[in-house]
Structure 1
Amino acid sequence: MPISIDACVAQHQGDRREQQDRVAILPHPRGGGVALAVLADGMGGHTGGVIAAQQVIHTARNNLEGYSARTESARVLLESCINEAHMLIKASRFINEKDPHSTVVMLLLQPGRVSWAHCGDSRFYHFRGDALLFRSTDHSYVAQLVVQGRITPEQALVHPNRNILLTSLGGGDAPKIAFGESEGLQAGDTFLLCSDGLWGYFTDQELAWVISGSSSAREASELLIGRARSMGHGDGDNISVAILKLVNVSQPEPAATPGARTTLLAPETAK
């Protein structure tokens, strides 16, 4: 049965001087049920982070235009997007006299499956109802301590070195990229891409409850950002989020609202 995607991207500047995150859902220009969700959290001082995050979105859009699901693998597309953005961000350092860096998380939707990649601490989540099926592991110092069993996930949230990344785009070393893929998608599956300005205030289960209990991707985005802002106590980071909820075509569609998109993933051969 065809699956309808109720999708929304949303942002809030938080209590920072500027919004250095960038997020987008990019439909393939030739359709075929293919779309690319991209989120980048820029770093590098005033305007530097903006330059880096914008470059990630621009590179992803350009590479998606030339992508053919019939002849190319999803991993090749995601890897090329990230590595090319990394090189262009490094080059912009000399042009703009800044020190731009960025994290990235990407999700490629194709009929019947999704593929994802990330670098840094912007996260990807896959929920089925209110159950967590997968969550990306941050490329950060504290995430490594959690994996090693030296601290708990709760301790990681307040660790003094929680902002130290082990890899990012624009650095001196090639970015470390983690990949994943899932098939057998069904109504009730939800995908969340978000920056640390959002996930830092929630447990995995809390995110699942808010998203599964919301009537639409837009409502879930508004609730999550509102709660993150209330818990920021005047010192909140930039917030960016992309939510994609899968529903059967036979179910009533959410009303069209500004900021929301609905994409049909029909069980046809992608172009």
Structure 2
Amino acid sequence: MSSHFRLAGATGIHQGDRAYQQDRVALLPHSRANGCLLGIVADGMGGRSGGRKASDQVILTAQQLFDLYVPYQDDAQALLRRIAEEAHLVIGLIALSAEQEPHSTLAAFLINPKGDCHWVHVGDSRIYHFRGRDLLHRTSDHSYVQGLVDRGEISEAEANVHPKSNILMGCLGTPEPPPIALKSIPRLEPGDTLMACSDGLWHYFASHEIGSALVDLPPRDAAQALVAGARRRARGGGDNLSLALVRMEPPEVPDNARPVAPATPAGSARRAA
């Protein structure tokens, strides 16, 4: 546990209206370092078995490499880049041996015990960083429509309904090197929330709606509410969806350190101000 905050997290996943589940999600506490945690979402593509094999490989690679990580001795961004590169390589080998076309997105954030945070993403699975209900940072999709938005040709709202919104400009497992995007946050604060999610979830919400759910509800309830809301808005046409969220909360105060309220005099009553 960090001395600056405690971590409260939750995951959510749903098959949507697809015939099979290709998303994978995990929150991985470090086995030897309290307050160190990795959140990860992988959205697989490439047919029933191909997409699931790709997202499985992302999670497996992340688990294996994160277990070797030593906070403040090892470089967090180097670890995240290595997760992306090694998963990309192995997924490519699966494609050669199985004559399939497995691909996957990647969105992962790593929180260190002293409160710094680092993230990596490839494709259109996203990471959001909220402080309270205010959005501070969000990943930029590696997609065709994000390019249109960046050039000012369409708005974010128009991108969501664009007929080419599902076209990616990069992901794991392609013949080309993946576009690996990294970011560091020097210090998280109590009240901050990080969320990684697949496009099957974020597609149905504006950022302020996500922020409201994350601040108004406990993490587990927020995850359930976002999944349920995406399902309602999909109206029978929803993709696989997944999310992993972690909220930084103030450290718990031990009972023996709490101030003692003065006793109420006999015969008097307390009144709310």
Q: How does 1:173-212 map to 2 (within 5 A)?
A: 173-212=176-215
Q: Give the corresponding residue for 2:138.
A: 135
Q: How far does residue 250 in structure 1 lie from its aligned partner after superposition?
A: 2.4
Q: Distance in 2 between matches of 1:138 and 1:210?
A: 22
- The amino acid that maps onto 2:86 is E
Aligned residue among 28, 33, 55 for 2:35: 33
Is 1:148 equivalent to 2:155 in the alignment? no
Superposition misfits of 4+ residues, deviation over 6 angstroms: none
Q: How does 1:54-93 map to 2 (within 5 A)?
A: 54-93=56-95
Q: Give the corresponding residue for 1:264.
A: none
Q: Give the corresponding residue for 1:121.
A: 124
Please tell me whether Structure 1 or Structure 2 has the larger radius of gyration of its CA atoms. 2
Q: Distance in 1 between matches of 2:72 and 2:124?
A: 31
CA deviation map 1:211-239 (0-9, x unaligned):
1111x110000100111000111110001
Q: Distance in 2 between matches of 1:154 and 1:38?
A: 26
Q: Give the corresponding residue for 1:217.
A: 219
Q: How far does residue 33 in structure 1 lie from its aligned partner after superposition?
A: 2.2
User: What TM-score results when the alignment is normalised by the length of structure 1?
Assistant: 0.90
Contact 2:4 2:115 (8 Å CA) reproduced: no
Q: How far does residue 66 in structure 1 lie from its aligned partner after superposition?
A: 1.3
Q: How far does residue 251 in structure 1 lie from its aligned partner after superposition?
A: 6.8
Contact 2:62 2:83 (8 Å CA) reproduced: yes
Contact 2:132 2:193 (8 Å CA) reproduced: yes
Query: SS state of the match for residue 46, structure 1?
Result: helix
More contact order relative to length (CA 8 Å, sep ≥ 6) = 1
Query: SS state of the match for residue 70, structure 1?
Result: coil
How much identity, in percent, do the aligned residues show? 42
CA deviation map 1:70-103 (0-9, x unaligned):
3221110000000000000000112222110000
CA deviation map 1:151-201 (0-9, x unaligned):
011100000000000000000101111111112321110011000000000
Contact 2:43 2:106 (8 Å CA) reproduced: yes
Q: Give the corresponding residue for 1:243.
A: 245
Aligned residue among 2, 5, 15 for 1:3: 5
Is 1:171 equivalent to 2:174 in the alignment? yes
Q: Give the corresponding residue for 2:258.
A: none
Aligned residue among 99, 102, 116 for 2:101: 99
More strand by share: 1
- The amino acid that maps onto 2:83 is C
Q: How far does residue 69 in structure 1 lie from its aligned partner after superposition?
A: 2.0
Q: Give the corresponding residue for 1:232.
A: 234
User: What TM-score results when the alignment is normalised by the length of structure 2?
Assistant: 0.90
Q: How far does residue 210 in structure 1 lie from its aligned partner after superposition?
A: 1.2
Report which stretch shifted further, 46-55 or 243-252: 243-252
Corresponding pairs, count: 251
**Cα RMSD over matched residues?**
1.2
Gaps of 5+ in 2: 255-273
Q: Distance in 1 between matches of 2:71 and 2:249?
A: 23
CA deviation map 1:100-132 (0-9, x unaligned):
000001101102211001000000000000100
- The amino acid that maps onto 1:169 is L
Change (3 A) 1:194 1:251: farther
Gaps of 5+ in 1: 253-271
